[in-house]
Amino acid sequence: NLKELRVKIIRCDNGGEFRNKEMNDFCSKKGIKKEFINARTPQQNGVAERRNRTLIEAARTVLADAKLPVTVWAKVVNTACYVQNRILVNKSQNKTPYELFNSTTPVIGFLRPFGCYVMILNTLDHLGKFDAKGDDGYFVGISSLRKELALIGLFDIDTLTNSMNYVPVVVAGTSSTDIL
β-bridge mates for residue 152, sequence order: 138
Domain ranges in the chain? 1-40, 41-171
β-bridge mates for residue 121, sequence order: 134
In tens digits, what is the pLDDT along the chain, a chain of 180 residues?
A: 677 889 999 998 888 889 999 999 999 999 999 999 987 888 888 888 899 999 999 999 999 999 888 888 998 999 999 999 999 888 899 999 999 999 999 988 888 888 888 887 777 777 888 888 877 888 888 776 555 566 665 444 444 444 444 444 444 444 444 333
Alpha helices (H) in the chain, listed in sequence order: 21-30, 46-66, 73-87, 97-102, 157-163, 176-179
